[in-house]
């Protein structure tokens, strides 16, 4: 027997929950209380899922910039982005090459430029910085999971993980999404970096899709390291209010995880500079502070951080 976990659309969820006289909204309200307990829907599902097991070897790619402080250089900030996509697969509209241009060549490009900028800073930050391009994110965060078991810098000495996973090049953002940052002790630093770079911190409009638990920062978070992804918000300077929302919907409908995720001549990368400056300002402050960040007391990841400290 294999355990199975999956996702349902709201429409399908309402149909399923409707069999027990409930709705998705009802279930979400129940789940958002301390008294929540799982209950049977009185439904049995039967399905047939053909699978194929395939062995393959892939690699994480890592770079290290040493810190300037004799003591703190043994600790690090970790920047991550996943370099893998889906390779060659089922043809869609006559194209079988899954390029992964937005997801996640954009993140990898930003990772490389962050590494370039970080290595040229003067004065050098006190803590070291690890720039990690992880593999097999699309196969279940396997590359980042591997790193947490074989870290270049011990996780107990890893101050922060900043992850980048797909940024549509739509222009200069006026807002930034940092879901999970408010659950850490560096939340004031995050807000200060956003204010410095004239970025409004925007709630993740895709939070209901479990985005926080679907990208490589989650591997670090569940291991105790304060971690979250940085993404552009839906407010783009000089553009209509619904511009980014429509662009994301169009991408999801026509290109996400398909061969149509390929470079577009009209992409506007000017906003990447703003996001990079925000990430550098934030990471620099954390790299120079005396105390290692942690998760807030009571957070689901706080016990893992405490365990690291104890070891």
Residue 276 has pLDDT above 80, yes or no: yes
Residue 309 has pLDDT above 80, yes or no: no
The band of 7, judged by pLDDT with boundaries at 50, 70 and 90, is: confident
Given 3.30.360.10, 3.40.630.10, 3.10.20.740, 3.90.1150.10, which CATH number is that of 65-310?
A: 3.40.630.10
pLDDT reported for residue 54:
83
pLDDT reported for residue 2:
65
Q: Rounded to whole angstroms, how far apart are CA atoms 97 and 257?
A: 11
Tens digit of each residue's pLDDT (9 = 90 or more) over 56-83: 899 999 999 999 999 999 999 999 999 9
The full set of domain ranges for the chain reads 65-310
Q: Beta-strand (E) ranges in 93-238?
A: 95-98, 128-134, 158-163, 175-177, 200-201, 227-229, 231-232
More confident residue, 199 or 90: 199
Tens digit of each residue's pLDDT (9 = 90 or more) over 162-188: 999 999 999 999 999 999 999 999 999
Residue 255 has pLDDT above 80, yes or no: yes
More confident residue, 199 or 2: 199
Q: Rounded to whole angstroms, how far apart are CA atoms 11 and 13?
A: 5
Tens digit of each residue's pLDDT (9 = 90 or more) over 152-164: 999 999 999 999 9
What number of other Cβ atoms are within 10 A of residue 120's Cβ? Answer: 9
Asked which of 89-93, 173-177, 203-207 is least confident by mean pLDDT, the reply is 203-207
pLDDT reported for residue 1:
59
Q: Rounded to whole angstroms, how far apart are CA atoms 81 and 107?
A: 5
How large is the C-alpha radius of gyration of the chain?
Answer: 21
Strand order in the sheet with 175-177: 200-201, 175-177, 231-232
Cα three-residue angle 179-116-247, rounded to 5 degrees = 45
Report which DSSP code applies to 241.
Answer: T
Buried b (16+ CB within 10 A) or exposed e, 240-276: eeeebeebbeebeeebeebbbbeeeeeeeeebbebbb
Q: What is the DSSP string of 252-290?
A: HHHTTTSTT----TT-BTTHHHHHHHHHHHHHHHHHH-S
More confident residue, 92 or 32: 92
């Amino acid at each position: 027997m294999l355990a199975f976990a999956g996702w349902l659309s709201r429409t399908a969820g309402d149909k399923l929950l409707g069999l027990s006289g409930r709705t998705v909204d009802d279930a979400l309200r129940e789940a958002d209380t301390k008294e929540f307990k799982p209950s049977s829907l009185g439904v049995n599902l039967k399905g047939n899922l053909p699978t194929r097991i395939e062995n393959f070897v892939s690699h994480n790619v890592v770079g290290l910039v040493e810190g300037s402080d004799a003591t703190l250089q043994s600790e690090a900030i970790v920047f991550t982005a996943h370099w893998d996509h889906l390779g060659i697969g089922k043809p869609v509209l006559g194209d079988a090459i899954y390029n992964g241009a937005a997801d996640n060549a954009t993140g990898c490009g930003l990772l490389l430029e962050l590494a370039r900028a970080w290595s040229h800073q003067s004065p050098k930050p006190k803590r070291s910085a690890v720039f990690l391009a992880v593999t097999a994110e699309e196969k279940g965060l396997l590359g980042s999971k591997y790193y947490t078991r074989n870290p270049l810098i011990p996780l107990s000495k890893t101050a922060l993980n900043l992850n980048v996973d797909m940024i549509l090049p739509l222009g200069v953002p006026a807002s930034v999404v940092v879901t999970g940052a408010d659950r850490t002790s560096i939340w004031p630093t995050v807000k200060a970096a956003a204010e410095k770079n004239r970025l409004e911190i925007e709630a993740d409009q895709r939070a209901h899709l479990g985005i926080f638990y679907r990208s490589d920062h989650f591997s670090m978070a569940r291991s105790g390291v304060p971690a979250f992804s940085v993404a552009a918000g839906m407010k783009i300077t000089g553009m209509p209010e619904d511009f980014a929302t429509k662009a994301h919907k169009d991408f999801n409908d026509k290109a996400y995880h398909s061969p149509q995720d390929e470079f577009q001549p009209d992409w506007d990368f000017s906003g990447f500079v703003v996001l990079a400056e925000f990430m550098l300002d934030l990471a620099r402050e954390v790299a120079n502070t005396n105390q290692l960040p942690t998760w807030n007391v009571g957070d689901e990841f706080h016990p893992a951080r405490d365990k690291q400290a104890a070891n």
